[in-house]
Amino acid sequence: MDGSYWWDGAVIYQIYPRSLMDCNGDGVGDIAGIIDRLDYIRGLGVDAIWISPFFKSPMKDFGYDIADYRDVDPLFGTLDDFDALIREAHKRNLKVVIDQVLNHTSDQHQWFQHSRKDRDNDKADWYVWADAKADGGAPNNWLAIFGGSAWQWDASRQQYYLHNFLANQPDLNYHCAGLRRQILKEVEFWLRRGVDGFRLDAINFCYHDKLLSDNPAKPVSERRGRGFSPDNPYAAQYHIHDNDQPETLSFLQDLRALLDRYPGVMSMGEINTENSLKTIADYTASNKRLHMGYSFELLVDEFSAGHIRQTVEQQMKHLNGSAPCWAISNHDVVRVLSRWGGDNPDPRMAKMLTALLCSLPGTICSYQGEELGLTQADIPKNQLQDPFGIEFWPNFKGRDGCRTPMPWHAEKPAAGFSNGQPWLPIPEDHLALAVNRQDAEPESVLNAFKGLLKWRKQHDALLYGDIHFTDLPGDLCDDVLAFSRHYKNHTLYAGFNLSARAVSIAAPAGLSLCAVPGHAGAEIKGRQITLPPYGVFFGKTTQ
């Protein structure tokens, strides 16, 4: 990684379009709203935007159930609006990455409607169909992430179809050559419109075991992690037959061959498997498959310096010539400040987490609202929209709490997001974090975010350098993360206090601290650096 590609060391800002900005007053964000906020986004100092699905959809899973890969849902606008977004983003030197949901479609997609008619039509095998067992039961024990069996009975075909997510999201059958060819055509449609990259949703789910072998049971002690709560039956299996099959690698090579015909286009796969780090290595090997893998390793509840260090070290060890990609928040998990900071997180923690994330090697994904230090919203059950939360309430409240609209102006109706009733409520405590208020406060989380990203671009060691972690005494190894980033003949040292107490660690000989916007408070006395609660330091040595 040396800056040869636009995504080397880039910061990608994830937009959840329903919640960024509503320009037509229907309470739901739209493409016109994204265009309206491009100057704000560019002003953050990011390099690209990643837009969650905006395709035509019945919105059972808010756009991740696509009914037409080649059209914009009227809720968000038109294809002309999207073309305008590409032009306006490129004018501001912002790259545009879009979500592609290649594993499944909506059950309203014309392909599925055709496939379900009978067993002999030209799309009959474009989806995963299987006969019932002799007793009428589902073909095997596979489970859906959103609850219940992964198989849904279809009366018209007198067969079950596979759905790893909602029953409204039937899985495509990648064992079918015709389907694979068509999917590549759907991807190329957007390449021709000028997109700069793809975030590939649930890419490890494309293939399934053709024998439909049962998944083995997982011990109770291991039923946590990967973003699944222990009360979700999905966590009770090792998912080794219903996704992440060896045939995926061949398809990824075909996809990469297509992308390589459009120089400068990036692919980033969302990967969540039983061994995600190994899967990422396989899916990005030899520069012939994906450019990057997007994992869930830092999107979990566990928060310690040891966990972060182990995750980064293991990821760097497994890379096969690709760049790593990091995120600590997205549209599917509890906002990081609440997930790692608890019910009343310290705002200083928000600044520290941005600095930590943006100091890791590779590409960074920052979810809208992180720059404000937004916390997870508590949505009453009667206002929930997310089918995942509705199914598993109250132990799991779904994903709505991280998807609430952006608070732009504290004194305006709907916080300046819309002239109508927002599709999700905006928490009262988010008003104090609104953009207009933070813009006016020099020490705000927002201004620290902007200052850090601007400062980061001045240091090639942070953008492209190797990482070497510092061993710390046992009483500090869970609370403090320290490492150096080295590129060519430049070395930058960094340290992060993950705790609410002041800590001191040994300083490298000759270290002098760098002045970093929004991150004052670290002090050197002799050979000791003292970090305040959630403090950060960056430094260089004179030797």
DSSP lists the bridge partners of residue 293 as: 269
The crossing angle, in degrees rounded to 10, of helices 445-456 and 347-357 is 20
Amino acid at 189: F
DSSP lists the bridge partners of residue 497 as: 480
What CA–CA distance (Å, rounded) separates 183 from 386?
27
224-232 — which CB contacts under 8 Å span 24+ positions?
Answer: 225/300, 226/272, 226/276, 226/296, 226/300, 227/272, 227/296, 227/299, 227/300, 227/332, 227/333, 228/145, 229/392, 229/395, 229/396, 231/392, 231/395, 231/396, 232/145, 232/147, 232/392, 232/396
**Strand, coil or helix: 362:** coil
* Encoded tokens for 116: 């379900």
Residue 293 in contact with residue 269, Cβ under 8 Å? Answer: yes
Residue 253 in contact with residue 163, Cβ under 8 Å? Answer: no
* Encoded tokens for 383: 């206002």
**Strand, coil or helix: 413:** helix
Q: What angle do CA 26, 36, 265 make, to 5 degrees?
A: 110
Q: What is the CA radius of gyration of the chain?
A: 23
**Catalytic residue, candidates 73, 99, 270, 370:** 270
What CA–CA distance (Å, rounded) separates 73 from 184?
21
Cis peptide before 394 (omega within 30 of 0): yes
Residue among 83, 85, 127 at smallest CA distance from 105:
127
Would you call 2 exposed, middle or buried from its count of C-beta atoms within 10 A (0-12, 13-18, 19+)? exposed
* Encoded tokens for 144: 């859906």
Q: Residue 186 catalytic? A: no
Q: How far are the Cα atoms of 223, 301, 353, 478 from residue 308, in angstroms, in the given order?
A: 21, 12, 12, 9
- How many CA atoms does the CB half-sphere of 390 hold within 13 Å? 9
Place of tokens 């949703």: 201
Alpha helices per DSSP H over 289-384: 305-318, 336-341, 347-357
Report the largest interatomic distance among the alpha carbons of the chain, rounded to a whole angstrom. Answer: 79
Amino acid at 505: I
Q: Residue 302 catalytic? A: no
**Catalytic residue, candidates 65, 171, 196, 201:** 201
Amino acid at 266: M
Query: Which stretches of 218-273 are assigned E, i.e. beta strand?
Result: 266-271
Residue 375 in contact with residue 337, Cβ under 8 Å? Answer: yes
Decide the pairing of beta strands 11-15 and 68-72: unpaired
Question: What are the residue numbers of the active site?
Answer: 201, 270
